Structure 1
Amino acid sequence: MDIKAAIKQLKQGQVSPLYLCYGTEKYQIQEFIALLEEQVVDREQRDFSLAAFDLAETPIEAVVEEAETLPFLVERKLIVVRDSALFTAAAKEGGKVEHRVEALLDYMNNPAEHSVIVFVVHHEKLDERKKIVKAIKTAGTVLSFAPLGGNELTQWVVREVEKRGSRIGRDAAEALIAACGVQMSALSVEVDKLCLYAGANGMIDTAAVDQLVARTTEQNVFAMVEHIAGLKLERALGIFYELLKQREEPIKIAALIARQFRIMLQVKDLARQSYSQQQIASQLGLHPYAVKIAGEQARKFEQARLKQILADLAQLDYQMKSGGIDKVLGLELFLLKLGTA
């Protein structure tokens, strides 16, 4: 089942006795659990309606016992189980807590009507070979929370702004992602701030994003490379000088520039092999939005040119570390050469 279908069922009052939420997008998982709480937990009797366990410290038998125990003063209770490595290949043998998995398998055959268990697994994949994974797919609902693709993330920002009673255009939404990064939890905080600034039915534009959203060093370098790719050398140098004012180490800046050009080369190479955006993201361990932007940047460079830039950066790194050139001057000359080539 996909996430949208599961959310629709929840809003219709259809709650599964067992959920397994896995993936790397922690913010989406937290949102889904919050929705589960709305449907299951009695707000006035929250202490009796909600239980939390960490399998790094608690055996699975304790979770099963809690689920089988009748709730007090409420009809149903929600049990949130974290660090559920039992479902992944990362499960360690001989850990400090021993789990009797058979207890959970027996429970899955006849789950209690008065309990809802949600297992949280912060891993990209489950171990499909495990009996327990096959069992929960039969007895409950398994949901994958993968990072949103480039367009999906932009649309998500637009929807979140609209939920808060403000408005934002696609350009401003993309500017926010470029400034803040792709982590949804961080984006949500910035959306709150921008909506407070814009007010009810107010419009958030790129100027507001530039004024209110502080860029990390990584995002500043990302923007610098974007300006270089767009032949906007003056803007790229402006970011570079601002980073120097913030006392950022030139060697670190050069390393981040090299990382971005390396990603561009890898994305370009994999795209030529007909890999999809999601496949490239999985292969490189990157967010799909970062792959989308790197692909757009890479189209402005020939493959041979990208390889030459990386070779030049390697040479610059050696010169900066060996004292062969002043670090600031060396990086400045590199940017000037790159922007005029």
Structure 2
Amino acid sequence: MTYKDVIKNIKNKQFSPIYLLHGEEPFYMDKIVNYISNNVLDASERDFNQTIVYAKDTPPIQVVDAASRLPMMAERQVVIVKEAQEYTKASQWEVFESYFTAPSPDTILVFAFKYKKFDKRSRMYKLLAKTAFVYESVGVKDYELGKWIRAYVTEQKQQITDKGVALIAEFVGNDLSRLANELEKLFLLVEDGQQITEKDIEKNIGISKDYNVFELVNAVLDKDFQKALKIINYFEQNPKAAHIITVISNLLTLYQRLFKIHFLKTTDPRQIATTLKIHPYPAKEMLSKKSKHPPKIISRNFNILREYDLTAKGVDASGIPDAALMKEMVFRLLH
């Protein structure tokens, strides 16, 4: 069940007395919590019937007391416990045992347990699985980011270029809350009916269109050492623009994909994109340039990247600055 399905059920007044929202991705939990807090009760009912607390500041017994009260001049009340992962001890959750066994039919009690999963082996989880609605919020994998961005943009009746999708995915990563915030900012700044382009992203999000990890990977794909050198020089002057571990990770991903493309029995970019679980745009680019990177050289480059990954992580550290290591590494990859 997706978070939209959960919200749809709530909108249709199909309530559960307890909601346990847990998992590594806070974005979907926030959507559900915000919908509950803004829609279950009328504005006139919220003052006396809606309680929002943070677990760090609220002992479990106070939550039980709040949830056990009768609603005041309303059909139900809402109690929301944010940052419920702050209840770190089993003894804290055991305070809720009696309530979980027989929850009040007049209360909607919500736990937002963020950034990790609730222990499914625990007695409390097994009890909640019987009496509560349990929703696990799963993050988006890196290879799914492009699809997620395009779906989010389309849902808002906006447009974005393929390269814009790739650039913002590379720059922001899979922090969905930040990604949504950056996209919302772009929606406000781009004129109606106009596509969001790389130029819009560069201007309004603070990323350099020409000097970023995405363009460095493209320079390596093109075997353009001079362009790669210019980008690394920019990184040297702007250390926050890219970290060597991020660069190595992205180059490793590039070579892994190129290696697979060599042995796929298709030259259709869309089929390749589906197989590699990437957007068709980078699939098309890699397909057109795979001849520049024969499998034997790619195998050699795996070893080079492994060597620099260990050095960057402090194994046999030489004290060489990151930018110098990147220049040396890219030179060896391309020669």
Task: Find out whether 1:172 has 2:164 as its counterpart.
Answer: yes
Q: CA RMSD in A?
A: 4.0
Residues 154-182 of structure 1: per-residue CA shift (max 9 Å, x gap): 34323433454432244422322122222
Partner of 1:99: 92
Under a length normalisation based on structure 2, what TM-score does the superposition of the two structures give? Answer: 0.73
Unaligned runs of 5+ residues in structure 2 are 260-276
Cα distance in structure 1, aligned partners of 2:67 and 2:325: 64
Residues 253-277 of structure 1: per-residue CA shift (max 9 Å, x gap): 44443455567799999xxxxxxxx
Partner of 1:337: 332
Change (3 A) 1:226 1:119: farther
Change (3 A) 1:181 1:76: same
Partner of 1:161: 153
Deviation of 1:316 after TM superposition, in Å, equals 8.6
Contact 1:179 1:214 in 2 (8 A): no
Cα distance in structure 2, aligned partners of 1:20 and 1:327: 44
Change (3 A) 1:199 1:126: same
Cα distance in structure 2, aligned partners of 1:77 and 1:14: 15
Change (3 A) 1:258 1:179: closer
Contact 1:60 1:99 in 2 (8 A): yes
Partner of 1:42: 42
Cα distance in structure 1, aligned partners of 2:80 and 2:303: 49
Cα distance in structure 2, aligned partners of 1:52 and 1:128: 25
SS at match of 1:52: strand
Contact 1:254 1:317 in 2 (8 A): no
**Which residue of 305, 328, 334 maps to 2:301?**
305
Cα distance in structure 2, aligned partners of 1:34 and 1:312: 45
Query: What does residue range 8-87 of structure 1 map to in structure 2 within 5 Å?
Result: 8-85=8-85
Query: What does residue range 94-173 of structure 1 map to in structure 2 within 5 Å?
Result: 99=92, 101=94, 103-150=95-142, 152-173=144-165
Change (3 A) 1:239 1:46: farther
Letter in 2 for 1:80: I
Deviation of 1:29 after TM superposition, in Å, equals 1.0
Cα distance in structure 2, aligned partners of 1:316 and 1:19: 44
Residues 71-104 of structure 1: per-residue CA shift (max 9 Å, x gap): 23433222111343499xxx336xxxx6372x52
Contact 2:82 2:113 in 1 (8 A): yes
Cα distance in structure 2, aligned partners of 1:106 and 1:244: 59
Cα distance in structure 2, aligned partners of 1:327 and 1:123: 31
Letter in 2 for 1:305: N
Cα distance in structure 2, aligned partners of 1:68 and 1:205: 53
Contact 1:2 1:144 in 2 (8 A): no
Residues 113-144 of structure 1: per-residue CA shift (max 9 Å, x gap): 22111111124333222221111111111111
**Which residue of 189, 192, 208 maps to 1:197?**
189
Cα distance in structure 2, aligned partners of 1:321 and 1:105: 53
Contact 2:153 2:159 in 1 (8 A): yes
Task: Find out whether 1:185 has 2:185 as its counterpart.
Answer: no
Percent identity over paired residues: 20
Letter in 1 for 2:89: K
Change (3 A) 1:7 1:154: farther
Under a length normalisation based on structure 1, what TM-score does the superposition of the two structures give? Answer: 0.72
Residues 225-267 of structure 1: per-residue CA shift (max 9 Å, x gap): 3532453434433322222332x289x8444434555677999
Partner of 1:277: none
SS at match of 1:56: helix
**Which residue of 202, 209, 213 maps to 1:210?**
202
Deviation of 1:183 after TM superposition, in Å, equals 0.9
Contact 1:54 1:83 in 2 (8 A): yes
Change (3 A) 1:151 1:5: farther
Cα distance in structure 1, aligned partners of 2:246 and 2:44: 51
Residue correspondences, number: 304
Residues 182-231 of structure 1: per-residue CA shift (max 9 Å, x gap): 21121122112211222223221233223333239xx9345423532453
Cα distance in structure 2, aligned partners of 1:311 and 1:151: 25
Unaligned runs of 5+ residues in structure 1 are 270-290
Deviation of 1:12 after TM superposition, in Å, equals 1.9
Contact 1:180 1:186 in 2 (8 A): yes
Deviation of 1:18 after TM superposition, in Å, equals 0.8
SS at match of 2:212: helix
